[in-house]
C-alpha cells in the first residue's frame, strides 16, 4: 500500500452513492431502552415518523441471541438524504444519493454523536466502521491496479467479483469490487461496477476517541481507494486538489 499516494480532495463525477458510519457498543442500560434514550436526543433533528425495520418481526429471543443479528439496527430515522439506524448495540449514520462531501457530512455526524454521548449510553465502542460504496458506469477492474493471472496469462472474465480483508495502518478494511453489478440510484436500477470499502477499527475505543477514529478511518479509506485505481484513470475524472 502506497501511503504517500496523491489523494485528491474530490473527483468529478463523484462515484459515492452511500457513505455510512457505524458505532457498535455495549450499552449501560437494558437493550429495550436504548432506542428511547437515543430518540429523545435526535427527534428534533428527525421530526418524521420512525420506521420499524424487518428484524422486529422476528421473535425477541432470536433477535437477542442470534450472533448474526447482534449488531443489527431495529429502527430507522430519515431526513432527506441522511439516515440514522438504531439498535440495542449499534448506531449508524448514512448519507445516501448525493454525497455531501466530508467537510459537510462530518460536522453533522459529530453533532449527532455528541448528543448521543451526552446520555452516557456507552463509555466506549467495540467497533468503529466507515463504509463507502462507489459506483462506476464502466468495468472498473480495467481501470484498477489489481491484476489477475492464470498460468501467467491475463485473467479475463465477463463477470468478476473480489472480496478481501486487508490491513491499512491500524485499521482493517473489507474491500469488495464487483463488475457487472446492479445498484439503485434514486429508486432506479443501473448497471456498472462497485467498489465497496468498509474501513474499521476494533475496540475498545473510549468515548472521547470516537470522533478521532472516524476521521482517521476516512483518511485511511481514501488511501485504500486511490491505491486501487490507476493514476491515469483518476486524472481522467477531472481531479480537483
Domain boundaries, the chain: 16-236
Given this model, what pLDDT does residue 157 score? 73
pLDDT at position 240 is 53
Q: Helix H segments across the chain?
A: 34-42, 60-65, 102-117, 210-228, 231-236
CB 209 within 8 A of CB 126: no
Q: Cell triple for residue 201? A: 477499527
Query: What is residue 67's predicted lDDT score, i.e. its pLDDT?
Result: 84
Distances (CA, A) of 174 to 44, 133, 135, 204, 208: 35, 12, 17, 20, 25
- State which CATH number among 3.90.660, 1.50.10, 3.30.310, 3.90.1480 fits the domain covering 16-236: 3.30.310
Average pLDDT by stretches of 10, the chain with 241 residues? 83 92 92 92 92 91 84 95 95 94 96 93 91 92 86 77 91 93 79 94 91 96 94 80 45
Amino acid at each position: 500500500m502506497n501511503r504517500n499516494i496523491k489523494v485528491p480532495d474530490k473527483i468529478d463525477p463523484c462515484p459515492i452513492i452511500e457513505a455510512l458510519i457505524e458505532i457498535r457498543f455495549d450499552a449501560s442500560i437494558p437493550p429495550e431502552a436504548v432506542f428511547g434514550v437515543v430518540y429523545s436526543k435526535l427527534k428534533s433533528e428527525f421530526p418524521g415518523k420512525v420506521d420499524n425495520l424487518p428484524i422486529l418481526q422476528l421473535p425477541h429471543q432470536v433477535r437477542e441471541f442470534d450472533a448474526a443479528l447482534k449488531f443489527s439496527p431495529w429502527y430507522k430515522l430519515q431526513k432527506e438524504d441522511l439516515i440514522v439506524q438504531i439498535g440495542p448495540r449499534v448506531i449508524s449514520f448514512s448519507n445516501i444519493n448525493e454525497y455531501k462531501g466530508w467537510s459537510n457530512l462530518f460536522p453533522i455526524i459529530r453533532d449527532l454523536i455528541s448528543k448521543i454521548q451526552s446520555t452516557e449510553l456507552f463509555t466506549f465502542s467495540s467497533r468503529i466502521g466507515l463504509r463507502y460504496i462507489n459506483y462506476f458506469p464502466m468495468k472498473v477492474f480495467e481501470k484498477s491496479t489489481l491484476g489477475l493471472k492464470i498460468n501467467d496469462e491475463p485473467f479475463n472474465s465477463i463477470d468478476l467479483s473480489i472480496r478481501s480483508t486487508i490491513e491499512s495502518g491500524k485499521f482493517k478494511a473489507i474491500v469488495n469490487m464487483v463488475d457487472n453489478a446492479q445498484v439503485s440510484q434514486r429508486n432506479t436500477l443501473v448497471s456498472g461496477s462497485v467498489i465497496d470499502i468498509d474501513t474499521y477499527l476494533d475496540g475498545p475505543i473510549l468515548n472521547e476517541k470516537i470522533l478521532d477514529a472516524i476521521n482517521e478511518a476516512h483518511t485511511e479509506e481514501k488511501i485504500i481507494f486511490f491505491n486501487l485505481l490507476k493514476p491515469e484513470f483518476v486524472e481522467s475524472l477531472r481531479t480537483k486538489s
